[in-house]
Amino acid sequence: MKVPEGLYYSKEHEWVRVVDGRAFIGITDYAQESLGEIVFVELPEVGSMLDAGDVLGVVESVKAASDVYAPIAGKVVEVNEALADDPALLNNDPYENWLAVLEITDDSMLEDLMDASGYEAFCAEEE
Amino acid sequence: MHRYIPNTGEQREEMLREIGVSGIEELFADIPGSIRLKRELDLPEALSEMELVRHLKELAGRNISTDEYTCFLGAGAYDHYIPSVVQHLVRRQEFYTAYTPYQPEISQGTLQAIFEYQTMICSLTGMDVSNASMYDGATAVAESAAMACRATGRAGVIVARTVHPQSREVLKTYFRYTGRSITEWGHKDGRLDPGELERLLSDDTAAVIVQNPNFFGLIEDIGGISDMVHNNGSLLIVSCNPISLALLKPPGDLGADIAVGEGQPLGNPLSFGGPYLGFMAAKEKFMRKMPGRIAGETRDRQGRRGYVLTIQTREQHIRREKATSNICSNHALNALAAAVYLSALGKNGLKKVAELCCRKARYAYDGLLKTGAFSPAFPGPFFNEFTVRYHRDIDMLNDSLLEHRIIGGYPLERDYPELKGAWLVAVTEKRTRQEIDNFVERAGSL
């Protein structure tokens, strides 16, 4: 299981990469592995405001349809349309293929998330 | 051994021993004495099989059925002829005794039948994707309204009062306690009133629900409201009679986003009200908002054709409270009957049935008016059902017809107090000229 350094991780198995005040959100390797073959991704609307914990989208595999939650609050400024055509990108490289970009409203929310080693320990407990 | 209990006293003793209890008393020890029934159930003595069959036949004999009576009653369920091949195939044990497939891919025949049913529903409605069927026409209407709310993120629906009253009742039940609202939209001369719709549409309107032909039998101008609904960002839901689609433009071509309806006319007997099936089809972009399951065609590892059940991931047994619906099933046997019926008739056969219904209904309508006892209720074209006004008591008229083994029309006043004397009469291809003449003569001479 890959858990890259430098990202923030949530207990719902999302990752956050911060670039110039904007947060790229995706699902972790652990998440894609548990879901299995992903067949559909539902993305949020650009411009919508999300609170931390709001549903950001839905990832559907052959086994289940799971909600993806916003790990932090923010305004959706961009979504990854490529996933609509090729949902399997999430299986191939979950850290390259983000779902949405949020404009961060409150930096301090990142402090509630885990770092790579914290998340790795969390996953080990989940197993 | 008892006829209806599949184990012997000896086997029960063995099971008790196996789980380590001394007897039935100990097995039920957790049930407090205060709530136990301390006497035998107050039931009559059990009947022998022969007595039971006689008793049930006697009860069944008190019903009247369309085998002995001539039926002019429709109002949502119609007395069509069902080719004998339908029952022959539906009653095959491979279909008849199987329950909804929880491990679906093992039941390839069932999935193929559902797949073919879906394909035919799509052709009839002009839609891209159909689900495997719903419980009946009314639940299909209610489910489509909930689906539109999910798809648009809005919470209000506008439903025409010319939609079947029972569909509207079920819709109200579905929306109770959900925070969603229903606005009823009146009619003008029995048909949709676009002017009123314009005033009712709001930012919160998820969908507008209409029926075609409507509950009064009239054919609506669906195309005429489609733009107005879509310009408001709302979805257009059309509930329709599937047989009428052999003649009328399909809802998909008229701008409908979701097409639903009661599937009973397709090869399912009246059966005193059910079980029937609801059909639901939609444009592709709403596929994942659709309740229920869809059978899909695919290839296996060796390239052979096979069938799978898809979109189950959105159903309740997997998605729990986030499911698209609390319905996790379909009416497979009724949908199978619909598919066999449509295959048996073919495109031309279905068209012929629809034409016969339409012509015979017109013949009966003209005949009734000619008697002088009836007058037209609404202007406008109709399909297999029409409304006339009777100037005397409708219940007396129906009672008197029943004495002559004729099941008369539906009194609209039951659901529309303002339509006193309005009589909804259905005529299917089954009615002969002689039956219609007899009906007209009896009805006109009371």
CATH of region B84-341: 3.40.640.10
Per-residue model confidence (pLDDT) at position B155: 96
Q: How many CB atoms lie within 10 A of CB B4?
A: 6
Tell me the mean pLDDT in the region A37-64: 91
Q: Is B322 within 8 Å of A67 when comparing Cβ atoms? A: yes
Instruction: Look at residue B6 in the predicted model and tell me its pLDDT.
Output: 86
Judge whether B318 is closer than 8 Å to chain A, CB to CB: yes
B298 in contact with A at a CB cutoff of 8 Å? Answer: no
Identify the closest residue of chain A to B310 by CA–CA distance: A62
**C-beta atoms surrounding B313 within 10 Å:** 20
B285 lies within 8 A of chain A by CB: no
pLDDT digits over B346-386, tens only?
999 999 999 999 999 999 999 999 999 999 999 999 999 99
Query: pTM value?
Result: 0.87
Q: Do B313 and A67 touch (CB under 8 A)?
A: no
Tokens 């005529």 locate to B427
Q: Do B314 and A61 touch (CB under 8 A)?
A: no
Rounded to 10°, the helix B108-125/B332-370 angle is 30
pLDDT for position A1: 86
Stated as kind and residue range, the H or E segment containing B336 is: helix B332-370
One-letter identity of residue B164: H
Residue A89 has pLDDT above 70, yes or no: yes
A and B: number of Cβ contacts within 8 A: 17
- Would you state the structure tokens that stand for residue A127, as one six-digit string? 């197993």
Residue B322 contacts A where some CB pair is shorter than 8 Å = yes
DSSP letter assigned to residue B192 = E
- Output phi, psi for B415, to 5 deg: -110, -20
Cα–chain-centroid distance for residue B214? 15
Token pair belonging to B301: 């590892």
Contact B261, B279 (CB under 8 A): yes
Mean pLDDT of A45-69: 91
DSSP B125-155: HT-SEE-S-BS-HHHHHHHHHHHHHHHHT--
Q: Print the domain residue range for A75.
A: 8-122
Picking from A62, A63, A65, the nearest residue to B314 by CB comes out as: A65
Cα separations in angstroms, A6 against A15, A95, B78, B331: 10, 12, 67, 53
Is this prediction's ipTM beyond 0.90?
no
DSSP annotation string for A61-120:
ESS-EEEEE-SS-EEEEEE-THHHH-TTHHHH-TTTS-SEEEEES-GGGGGGSB-HHHHH
The torsion of the CA quartet B208, B209, B211, B212, rounded to 10 degrees, works out to 40
Is A40 part of any domain?
A: yes
The sign of the CA dihedral B388, B391, B395, B400 is: negative
Number of domains chain A contains? 1
A3 falls within a domain: no
Residues in chain B: 446
Q: What is the pLDDT of residue B374?
A: 97
B386 near B217, Cβ under 8 Å?
A: yes
Decide if A100 contacts A51 (C-beta within 8 A). Answer: no
What average pLDDT does the segment A23-42 reach?
94
Q: Report the amino acid identity of residue B365.
A: Y
Handedness of CA B138, B139, B142, B143 (dihedral sign): negative
Q: What's domain B70-81+346-444's architecture?
A: Alpha-Beta Complex (3.90)
Contact yes or no for A62 and B319 at CB 8 A:
no
Q: Looking at residue A20, which CATH number applies to its domain?
A: 2.40.50.100
Strand partners, B309: B295
Tell me the β-bridge partners of B271: none
Residue A12, pLDDT score: 94
- Quote the pLDDT of residue B1: 61
Contacting residues of A for B318, CB less than 8 Å apart? 64-65
| Fold match between domain B70-81+346-444 and domain B84-341 | no
Q: Which residues pair with B212 in a beta bridge?
A: B240
A127: in domain = no
Which chain B residues contact residue A54 at CB under 8 A? none
Taking the domains of chain B in order of start, what are their residue ranges?
1-37, 70-81+346-444, 84-341
Q: What angle do CA B381, B385, B387 make, to 5 degrees?
A: 80
Interchain CB contact of B319 with A (< 8 Å): yes
Cβ burial B374-397 (10 Å sphere, 16+ → b, else e): beebbebebbbbbbbbbeeebeeb
- Whether A118 is in a domain gets the answer yes
- For residue A106, being part of any structural domain is answered with yes
Is A117 a member of any domain?
yes
Question: Within chain B, which residues score under 70 in pLDDT?
Answer: 1, 99-102
Best CA proximity match to B262, nearest among B78, B92, B418:
B78
How close does chain A come to B150, measured CA to CA in Å?
13
